[in-house]
Amino acid sequence: MKRIGVTASPTLGDRKKEITQIIKTIEEQGVEVLKEKKLSEMVGNEGGMSLEDMEKKEKMDLLVTIGGDGTVLRALQHCNAPILGVNMGRVGFLNEVQPENFEKDLKRVLDGDYYIDEHTRIKLCINGTESIPVLNEVVIHSSQAVKIREFEISLDGFVLDHFRADGVIVATPTGSTGYAMSAGGPLIDPRLKGMLLMPLAPFRVARRPNVVPLEAIVRVRMIKHRPCIANLDGQKEMELSGSEILEFTDAESPAKFLRFESNPYRVRQRVFQSINQ
């Protein structure tokens, strides 16, 4: 690897020393470091560039994200480079490395002792206009508190479900451990290719989620035109009038992570243990 990009959560100003050490560790391996502009400002350096330029103009081989899962999700909305996540967040489902192990794990990466773990992403089109791909989920919900909406979900043109609820979650297998899990949804093996369609606080409590093939075309529409919001991976919000047709399909370009552990359930076990402590 010749060029490694680095980005960090802007909330980690109090951990500047640790972040600076991570950058120094990469430089000591003789690798060129590309710093995102906001990261450069955080550590007191001039320069820096956007994630888009780091990938397209500078051709970075790898992006090191420092922070929590939100930092990874934000990065993936701006570039498609393989990611090595350093966990400085609370959960860390998507992060492979703990800060104290970074030097050792970086050497494993440079020695080629890793594999690429690809995770499905889904694409949202609103009235035919394509938005950014998402790794976890899109949540469509009422723009007003405690106001339910009426949704219709169709699969390849066939009406699959019709319900009243606070909203609906369209999630990937990776995203099944996020908001959908908190809403009572099933955990889906991240190696499977599919979409989870999850009513959010349905009026009829017996309403259950559906898991459909990734190659399907899923459409969501509101029966009555009422204001809603579409939230993409918890990073971007889009206001909706309620008249739009939302179409979900395979994003085709998966998210790529550098991994050392081949069993995805070990990561889940570690995270769930930390949550329950």
pLDDT tens digits, residue range 203-232? 987 688 999 999 999 999 999 999 999 999
Q: What is the pLDDT of residue 1?
A: 85
CA dist., res. 71 & res. 83, Å (int): 11
Per-residue pLDDT reduced to its tens digit, 130-188: 888 999 999 999 988 778 999 999 999 999 999 999 999 999 999 998 999 999 999 99
CB-count burial class (<10 Å; 0-12, 13-18, 19+) for 145: exposed
Res. 199 pLDDT band, cuts 50 70 90: very high
Q: Which residues, in sequence order, are CB contacts of 275 under 8 Å at separation 6+?
A: 91
Q: What is the pLDDT of residue 270?
A: 58
Residue 64 has pLDDT above 90, yes or no: yes
Q: Which contiguous run of DSSP H or E holds residue 52?
A: helix 51-56
Q: What is the pLDDT of residue 269?
A: 63
Per-residue pLDDT reduced to its tens digit, 103-127: 999 999 999 999 999 999 999 999 9
Of 14, 53, 61, 69, the catalytic one is: 69
Q: Which residues, in sequence order, are CB contacts of 1 under 8 Å at separation 6+?
A: 31, 61, 62, 109, 110
Q: What is the pLDDT of residue 267?
A: 63
Question: What is the overall mean pLDDT for the chain?
Answer: 91
CB-count burial class (<10 Å; 0-12, 13-18, 19+) for 25: middle
Q: What is the pLDDT of residue 262?
A: 64
CA distances for 12 relative to 6, 17, 209, angstroms? 14, 10, 37
Residue 72 has pLDDT above 90, yes or no: yes
| Positions of E strands within 122-254 | 122-126, 129-130, 137-142, 149-155, 158-171, 194-202, 210-213, 218-222, 228-232, 236-240, 245-250
Mean pLDDT in residue range 23-35: 96
What class is the 122-250 domain?
Answer: mainly beta
Residue 275 has pLDDT above 60, yes or no: no
Give the start-to-end residue ranges of the domains of the chain. 3-119+254-276, 122-250
Q: Is 258 helix (H, G, I), strand (E, B) or coil?
A: strand
- Biggest alpha carbon–alpha carbon distance for the chain: 60
CB-count burial class (<10 Å; 0-12, 13-18, 19+) for 101: middle
CA dist., res. 173 & res. 47, Å (int): 38
69 a catalytic residue:
yes
- β-partners of residue 255 are 119
Q: 3-119+254-276 adopts what CATH topology?
A: Rossmann fold (3.40.50)
- Smallest CA-to-CA distance from 22 within 38, 45, 5 is with 5
| CA distance between the termini of the chain | 38
